Amino acid sequence: MRGEVETEDGVLVIRRILVHHRLAVSENVRSVVEEVHNAYVMQCPLYRTLHRCIDFKISYELTPAEEGGESGGGIANSA
């Protein structure tokens, strides 16, 4: 996650919040990840509170899961 800040009348103001998730998942759960990604923002209290005054950019990328995990994958890194 990162933010972009601008100055307005000498005061720092958060203008944009960029969130990018990196997920290590099995190919068979790709459709679930896409469904959750598309639905979760309106379930996120932070987004619901701020989306009218701060521009949010939310994205994700999928990487192959390592073998041996019970769920077939998990969050590798969220930055």
Mean pLDDT for back-to-back runs of 10 residues, the chain (79 residues): 96 96 90 90 91 94 75 47
For residue 68, the model assigns a pLDDT of 54
Burial of 2 (0-12, 13-18, 19+ CB in 10 A): exposed
- The H or E element that residue 5 is part of is strand 2-8
pTM of the model: 0.68
Q: What is the pLDDT of residues 2-15, one digit of tens each?
A: 999 999 999 999 99
Q: In this structure, which amino acid lies at residue 20?
A: H
